[in-house]
Structures are given as structure tokens and as C-alpha cells.
Amino acid sequence: MAKKFRRSFIKYVMAPLGLGMLLVAYIFDVYSPIRENKTFFINKGDSVATVAARLESEKLILSRHIFKLAVRAQGGSIKRGEYDIQPSTSMWRMARMMAHGRIATTNVFIPEGLTIQQVRALLMKHSELTGDVDCAVGNFSEVCDLHDGDIFPDTYSVARGTTRLAVLGLAHKKMKGIRDSWANKGNVAPYPLTTWNDVITLASIVQKETPRTSEMPIVASVYLNRLRSNMRLQADPTVVYALTDGLGDMQGEPLLRGHLKTDSPYNTYTNKGLPPGPICNVGNAAIRAVLRPADTKYLFFVADGMGGHRFSRTYEEHQAHHATWREIKKSKNGE
């Protein structure tokens, strides 16, 4: 009798209950009506019930009631933002995504060596950011008065729809952190540099002079040696910066000998010492190169035609290297 009751109990009670639990689990964490990528926005003030109803009406979930249960199991709240919902995303995974604020992101790459003007233009072309790069009247935050050397070039992962000013703020905050860390550690700039502005200004010239990380400490040593010898730096990128009103790009036009006489405090052909400030935004390699320059006696360098430079101790040696570079240029122009 007991065995017969047990079999009946399993057949008429436990089996349907087990099937029901499997069905709920399937609907909860396996089934999905989504067959293609979808974008879903949760706005400020949207309730769980409102979001659940919208998801159901857009046929992204099977049941608003089950979705609300899933959210409750994740803590009961959801975070605003834009969400990328992939095909076959179950209600459970969707609830978890929204409860933990796993919003859609975009990467913003700011290359080393760009000026503030160029960075702003770059951000304006980024289609997944919003807003302007200039502050509204009356906004006096630090990001409204950025100068070259104030931001750190890097890749920033931000929520899709982030404002362009917010990205500039992140880049500015990172550079401030690097500056503060340098100051707090009691680091000393190599003679004759004395301030952080000196370091970043020279680093910006190094950044513009060579793309090769391995060369940067040598280029830095050349300019430090010239400063110590009371020689003009005679750095072409400073003239370009002066000629282009801080854009830093000749836009295909050549730098001519006459340009070297440009009247500007940034022109290191006509003024001794460093220019007033940085001429671009610099990365770690250029900063390290200035703080830890190579130990050389070099005073000159010229392009070698292969993406690098030839370095010289004397003007006579430099002239010989310069003649070689002129021949390489002539050959390239002939080709």
C-alpha cells in the first residue's frame, strides 16, 4: 500500500512539480525571444515596473512579472543608462545586467602628441559621445580652461553617450594624478629644469621630435645639453606651434627657412630657453625620457631617413649628417 501511494505521489504530484520547475527555469534563464542585437535605454526615474512593461511590449522578454521577480532576486533595483542586449539574452541575465549597471561602453582613444585643439576636433568626430567640447557661458570648471600638457593621452572606456567634456575631465584628472604623484614622491627635475611645467614642456618637444620610444631619452639629453650650454633649442615643432596658433599641424605645408624667424615666445630659434608651456599632450615615454635622460654629450640631431635620427657632438659632424639627409630627401623626391 505504501509503495503504491509513493508511486502515485511521484506520478501525480512530484512529476508535474518537477516539470513546472524545469519550465520556470527554462523561461527564467534559457529562453529568449531576442534574435538580433538590441539597444535599450533606462532613463532617470524609470521604475522596475515601467522598464518591465517596456521590455515586454518590445518583445524582449516573455513576461514582465517574471522579469520583476528576477530583478528582485538581484537586489530589487536597476540602473539607468544604455544597454546592449545580445541575441539569446535570457530574462535572468538581462535583469542581472540592469541591476549591476553593465551599460554599453565605448572606447575613446586620444593619441600622444596631439594639441588640445586637435583633441577637441577628435572628440567631436566620435559619434558615440554627446555634447560640445566648449563650455557653456558661466561654467568655470577646470575642464573649461585646458592648455596643452593638461591632459593625458590614453584609451578611455566610458558609457556610450558620455559627454565630450566629461572625457576631457577624465584625461585631465589622470594627468593631474601623474603630476601630484611626481610631486609627492619628492622627485627632482634634471638640471636646469625646476618645475613640472618645465618637465612637461620639454617632454612635449621630445614627443613631437621622435615617434621612437627608444630614442626619446637621447633626444631629451640633446635638449638638456643645449640648455646647460646656453644654446637655443632650435626645435622645429615649436615653430610649427607658433605658426599655426597652437594647432600644431602645418596641414601639408612645408616648414621653410623663413618660418624660423617667426615672432613668437614659442619660437626656440629666436628665443633661448624653453617655450612658455607645452606644445602638445604627452605620454609616459616622453615624460620618463625627460626625467631619466640618456647620459650623452650630443648637441645636435637630424633625421636619418629611416624614421630615426643621427646624433652629433659637434657642429661639423652635424653638418655632415645634414648633408647626408639632404641627399636622402633629394633621392626620395626624385622617386
In this prediction, residue 5 carries a pLDDT of: 46
In this prediction, residue 274 carries a pLDDT of: 98
In this prediction, residue 24 carries a pLDDT of: 55
Average pLDDT value for residue range 267-285:
98
Alpha-helical segments (H) within 30-157: 48-57, 64-73, 91-99, 116-125
Q: DSSP readout, 6-67?
A: HHHHIIIIIHHHHHHHHHHHHHHHT-----S-EEEEE-TT--HHHHHHHHHHTTSSS-HHHH
Distance between CA atoms of residues 207 and 155, nearest Å: 18
Q: What is the pLDDT of residues 142-185, one digit of tens each?
A: 899 999 999 999 999 999 999 999 999 999 999 999 999 998 88
CATH of 30-103, one of 3.40.1280.10, 3.30.1490.20, 3.30.1490.480, 3.40.50.2300: 3.30.1490.480
Average pLDDT value for residue range 255-282:
97
Question: What contacts 32, CB < 8 A, 6 or more positions away?
Answer: 87, 88, 89, 90, 91
Give the residue, 18 or 54, on which the prediction is more confident.
Answer: 54
Nearest alpha carbon to residue 147 among 208, 199, 201: 201
In this prediction, residue 186 carries a pLDDT of: 80
DSSP H or E segment with residue 208: helix 196-209
Is the predicted pLDDT of residue 262 greater than 70, yes or no? Answer: yes
Following CA atoms 138, 142, 145, 148 in sequence, which dihedral angle do they give, to the nearest 10 degrees?
A: -170
In this prediction, residue 1 carries a pLDDT of: 55
Is the predicted pLDDT of residue 194 greater than 60, yes or no? Answer: yes
Q: Residue 58's pLDDT band (boundaries 50, 70, 90)?
A: very high
Block residue for cell numbers 518590445? 58
Angle at which helix 48-57 crosses helix 64-73, to 10 degrees, equals 140
- The length of the chain in residues reads 335
Q: Which of 23-32, 99-108, 193-202 has the lowest mean pLDDT?
A: 23-32
In this prediction, residue 15 carries a pLDDT of: 47
Distance between CA atoms of residues 53 and 60, nearest Å: 10
Domain parsing of the chain, residue ranges = 30-103, 105-184, 196-334
In this prediction, residue 13 carries a pLDDT of: 45
Is the predicted pLDDT of residue 332 greater than 90, yes or no? Answer: no
Nearest alpha carbon to residue 30 among 98, 93, 85, 100: 93
Is the predicted pLDDT of residue 281 greater than 50, yes or no? Answer: yes
Q: Which of 17-21, 70-74, 309-313 has the lowest mean pLDDT?
A: 17-21
In this prediction, residue 334 carries a pLDDT of: 61
Q: What is the pLDDT of residues 6-25, one digit of tens each?
A: 555 445 444 455 454 555 55
Q: What is the pLDDT of residues 202-221, one digit of tens each?
A: 999 999 999 999 999 999 99
Amino acid at 178: I
Average pLDDT value for residue range 254-275:
96
DSSP helix/strand/coil, 214: helix
